[in-house]
Amino acid sequence: MSFRAPSLAQTLFVVALFVALTLPLFASAYYLQFASKVLITGVLAMGLNLAVGQGGMVSLCHGAFFGVAGYILALATPGYDAAPLLATLPLAVLGSAGLAFLIGCFALRTRGVYFIMVTLAFGEMLFYLFHDSGIAGGSDGAFINARPDILIAGRQWLNLDKPLVFYCVMLALTAAVAGLLAMLVRSPFGHALAAVRDNERRARSLGFPIFRIRLSAFVISGGLAGLAGYFAAAQFGFVAPQMLSWHVSAAALVMVLIGGLRSVTGPLIGALVLTGLEEVLKAEFENWKLIEGLIVILLVIVLPGGLRQLGLLTTWAPRKEVAPASGAGRA
Amino acid sequence: MSLMTFGIQLLNAFQYAMVLFLVASGLTLVFGILGYINLAHGAFYMLGAYLAYWIVAKTGSFALAMIGGTAIAFVLGVILERTLVQRLYGRDHLMQVLLSFGLILVLDDARQILFGKDVHAVAPPSWLGGTIQLTDNLSYSVYRLAISAFCLAVAAAMFWVIARTRIGMMVRAGAENREMTRVLGIGFDRLNRYVFAAGIALAALGGIVIAPISTVFPGMGDGMLILSFVVVVLGGIGSVGGAALGALLVGITDTFGKVFFPSISSILVYLLMAAVLVWRPSGLLGRGEI
Amino acid sequence: MTRNRRPLLITRRSLLSGAASTAALAVASPFPTPALAQNAPLKVGLMLPYTGTYAKLGQFIDDGFRLYVEQKGGKLGGREIAFVQIDDESKPEAATDNMNRLVGREKVDVVIGTVHSGVAMAMVKVARDTNTLLIIPNAGANDATGAACAPNIFRTSFSNWQTTYPMGKVMADAGIKNVATITWKYTAGKEMIDAFAENFTSHGGKVLAELTVPFPEVEFQALLTQIATLKPDAVFSFFAGGGAVKFVKDYAAAGLNKSIPLYGAGFLTDGTLPAQGEAAEGIKTTLHYADDLDHPANVAFLKAFKAKTSNDGDIYGVQGYDSAALLDIGLAAVGGDATARDRMIAAMAAAKIDSPRGPLSFNKAHNPIQDIYLREVRNGRNARLSVAQAAVNDPARGCKLS
């Protein structure tokens, strides 16, 4: 770090961090819940970015990983009682990761546009599976009547019903995920992944096991999406097949775009911007979809590098030029 | 199941497949020639249906709806290509996905502003309004037969254009090897524009044609989008013949699935797709990496 | 806002404005306060589908509610009414979020909603958790006034069970021995068909096949062909909105209406007749309303509705209208003080409303007790044939309220 005065980007980042940490002091329960929601979608977006930004795999089925974890919680919650968090959380994350493994085995045999479409189709297949079958309520969804908790020796060590507790848990989790991803990106695995993304042919000639590297990244990414989905279900107390729809994946992709593809924590900012934008737009305009659509189009055309292009963001991940798309086009 | 019933179900499957082919062919052309992934394809299908409703409501003529609706969609396609899509050729597929996602949001709300949020019915042209008695208690709508015939005609026309005309030759060249075609100086920009517009127009035409036998409602684009994707993946990107084959497979699977396996009929189509992909990762008639 | 007198470089307010990015967008929005004072307007939150397949239904409910309030000079129970509107888009997955926005952010005093049963159940859950007063103007999910019933939850529409149960006896009495049913595969569809089948089979009828289509698909060809093969005496179906339009038209186009009469829940032909046209003529349905009911309340309602919206009133408008009437009764009993919740609920539970649909009262689970009419489509209107069953009371299975 140099001795220059901190840039605008860095100042904003510190301020945002400060706000996040002190939020419980001045925000009402509603806004604490809103912040939790932002963090949950942030984790989803960060997980997705491992596959998309670092791995160059544009996936439209991450909604499925997100939703499946939620459904696992719903199915594991006994009636009106709380499910044990320590047992169901790993179950849900492993479930999503396992699903990512299965889909990845199929999808990663294809490239480019095919890959995108195959993930889209598999995502939709899972959507219809939950929508049309009798699993947990079909198209109307299912309720989770009590939030998962940690019950050891008769005492409740964690009660997620309080918005404050939920928020703190989410904050800790988000930090952990960001840390994990930052480590991953800097590790040999992360470098190999980037190599495969940037120039597959050369990576192959250098002896990298392309398929395995991609699959690993895809599976981890899916597991993280599952983590987000578990807590989303816990927060809303409700799961519906629409959680698995490709619209969820697409929205997460927009967040990744806003935050910048190469950044680890960028998607978190993207989540904040998009969720906050929707909140404001929905309250003010009847035709909010039109405005949101126009903004997305504008972003794609004018700001493909995300907010970083405006110099508004900084990141703790290794600083890298956003490579021109030619190399990154191949999935 | 009696032979008669089997035959009728086959007819149902065929008619369903034909409309699916019409919409999917547009998608596969845009993919194959332009290498552009257009998730908004379903939104144009919906737009076509609403245009049909609106034009028939204003003028009473279905023929006018067909011609006018397709023309409007074509022009819209040209405009979109020129202003937005053109900037994304050769760019990351991610950008194309996001652009089309944004387009879906815009088109959805635009449709709401222009045509409202109501559910509509469109009457088929009176000379096609009758029915044909198939069995003692079941008759088949003449219009449905007419749709199948019409889609077959469009398919034949497309094959002829692609195989026998100069434009078709350029299209084939572009599908085969985009870089080389550009290097050879073939007027690519204009070709791209018209191919994209044609793709959009085909989707809209599918919506127009199906409006009298479906209902025109806001969510109709989403289901058709996914199905056309499956058809294109099955048949192979860029191959119109593949789209036809894929559509037939999907139509048969869906129709007979509904009858024999009603609880899992919707996922049968995806299982079919997975099976085909295991056997042939580029689709049945596909040509490999895009 | 209090002034900060301590000489800090960074005050709380400057921090907030310093987070100039969208964090401020979310946090700096005005914090609405609940209408505590008796003179402040009562905040009514309307959570309805203003877009999507059920948009027309949502709009009519909204119109009906506002019509009643207008007729009372903008006041219910003597209290001014302020409206907050949220579009639920008939999406169950966004329902909890939207409801939380109404209750947590806008801090409304009462919520009116919605059409789609899945969305409504999510609303019921939040209402129970936050003890918010909820009046359901349409969604018929049996559980809302069944297993999930609560003192603060009311319904002015129907339960799915209620509307189709009477048809079982009607069809059995008409000499129909075997029936094929067809509907969408979701909670509402299942509950409607189950209630019909329960009554029909108890009168000796037989259900040959229970056909289903995934919701909200409208491709019926394969199943229509199957119906033709099965050759039942009649078909009983439930569809609503766009799906109802298509099904009725497809049924006629396949010529089945000539040999196999079509019966259905009233939603098959309510709000859909102009689009269905000829194809709907002769279809018999059961519902708690008919277009030509001649009680004075209905005549007056239809006239006023037409004057306000230039549309013909229908059951959805009536249900919205009655929701306002119910709230009026509750507020009047407490002189406009919505915090006197127990007295308000007691008054509402005992309410007897002279509704456009006929006499309306409520059972212990707060579901309407009402007459169910048998109707037939004649000349583009649902004409009342007879009362299929009078004062139908939903059994409120699983409800623990006494």
DSSP for C31-50? ------STTSPEEEEEEE--
DSSP for C118-160? HHHHHHHHHHHHHT-EEEESS---GGGGTTT--TTEEESS--H
Show the beta-strand stretches assigned E in chain B: 131-133, 139-141
* β-pairing verdict for B131-133 and B139-141: antiparallel
- pLDDT, averaged across chain C: 86
Distance CA B62, CA B64 (A): 5
Find where tokens 């067909």 sit: B66
Q: Do B137 and C259 touch (CB under 8 A)?
A: yes
pLDDT band at C285 (very low <50, low <70, confident <90, very high): very high
Peptide bond into C395 cis (omega under 30): no
Higher pLDDT, C94 or C321: C321
Please report residues of C whose CB lies closer than 8 A to that of A131.
214-215
Domain of B70 in residue numbering reads as 11-123+140-218
In the predicted model, is pLDDT for residue B50 greater than 80?
yes
Distance CA A160, CA A138 (A): 27
Nearest chain A Cα to C214, which residue? Answer: A132
State the average pLDDT over residues A263-268.
88
- Which of A144-153, C3-12, C345-354 has the weakest average pLDDT? C3-12
In the predicted model, is pLDDT for residue C22 greater than 60?
no
- pLDDT, averaged across chain A: 84
Provide the pLDDT for residue B289.
42
C214 forms beta bridges with C185
Assigned domain for B119 exists = yes
State the average pLDDT over residues C189-201.
93
Q: Do B263 and A112 touch (CB under 8 A)?
A: no
For domain A8-310, say whether CATH 2.60.480 is its number. Answer: no
Closest CA of chain A from C84, distance in Å: 10
pLDDT band at A325 (very low <50, low <70, confident <90, very high): very low
Higher pLDDT, C182 or B233: C182
Higher pLDDT, B219 or C177: C177
Provide the pLDDT for residue B46.
92
In the predicted model, is pLDDT for residue B77 greater than 90?
yes
Best residue in C11, C16, C22, C108 for a mutation probing chain A (most A CBs within 10 Å): C22
Distance CA B18, CA B244 (A): 8
Best residue in A124, A253, A277, A301 for a mutation probing chain B (most B CBs within 10 Å): A124
In the predicted model, is pLDDT for residue B82 greater than 70?
yes
Closest CA of chain A from C318, distance in Å: 25
Distance CA C221, CA B256 (A): 11
When CB atoms are compared, the residue of B37, B265, B283 closest to A116 is: B37
Provide the pLDDT for residue C218.
79
Q: Do C250 and B9 touch (CB under 8 A)?
A: no
- Which of A59-68, C30-39, C110-119 has the weakest average pLDDT? C30-39
Closest CA of chain A from C99, distance in Å: 11
In the predicted model, is pLDDT for residue C229 greater than 60?
yes
Q: Which amino acid is at C338?
A: A
How many structural domains does chain B have?
1
State the average pLDDT over residues A134-140.
76
Segment (H or E) for A94: helix A85-107
In the predicted model, is pLDDT for residue C177 greater than 90?
yes
Higher pLDDT, B8 or A328: B8
Best residue in A54, A115, A125, A245 for a mutation probing chain B (most B CBs within 10 Å): A125
For residue C129, how many other CB atoms are within 10 A of its CB? Answer: 15
**pTM of the shown model:** 0.82
pLDDT in tens, C115-138: 988 889 889 988 988 899 999 999
Q: Do B266 and A131 touch (CB under 8 A)?
A: yes
Distance CA A192, CA B171 (A): 38
In the predicted model, is pLDDT for residue C256 greater than 80?
yes
In the predicted model, is pLDDT for residue C153 greater than 70?
yes
pLDDT in tens, C287-309: 999 888 888 999 999 999 999 99
Higher pLDDT, A161 or C32: A161
Provide the pLDDT for residue C8.
38
CA distances from A82 to A140, A145, C35, C305 (A): 22, 8, 35, 48
Closest CA of chain B from A7, distance in Å: 29
Determine what percent of chain C is predicted with pLDDT higher than 70: 90
Provide the pLDDT for residue C16.
41
Please report residues of B whose CB lies closer than 8 A to that of A329.
90-93
Q: If you ran DSSP here, which 8-state letter would residue A142 be given? A: E
State the average pLDDT over residues B80-108.
86
pLDDT in tens, B260-284: 887 777 788 888 888 888 888 778 8
Q: Do A296 and B98 touch (CB under 8 A)?
A: yes
In the predicted model, is pLDDT for residue A23 greater than 90?
no
First to last CA, chain B: 43
In the predicted model, is pLDDT for residue A320 greater than 70?
no
In the predicted model, is pLDDT for residue C97 greater than 90?
no
Please answer whether residues A65 and A45 qualify as being in contact, where contact means their C-beta atoms are separated by less than 8 angstroms: no
Determine what percent of chain B is predicted with pLDDT higher than 90: 27
Best residue in C93, C96, C124, C143 for a mutation probing chain A (most A CBs within 10 Å): C93
- Which of A91-95, A143-147, A152-156, A239-243 has the weakest average pLDDT? A152-156
Helices and strands: H and E segment counts in chain C: 13, 15
Assigned domain for B209 exists = yes
Provide the pLDDT for residue A91.
94
Give the highest mean pLDDT range of A195-209, B186-200, C211-225, C343-357: C343-357
First to last CA, chain C: 47
Provide the pLDDT for residue B114.
87
pLDDT band at A310 (very low <50, low <70, confident <90, very high): low
In total, chain B counts a number of residues equal to 290
Nearest chain A Cα to B265, which residue? Answer: A132
Q: Do C23 and A37 touch (CB under 8 A)?
A: no
- Report CA torsion sign: C116, C119, C121, C124: negative
Q: Do B229 and A117 touch (CB under 8 A)?
A: yes
Provide the pLDDT for residue C14.
40
When CB atoms are compared, the residue of A137, A139, A280 closest to C215 is: A139
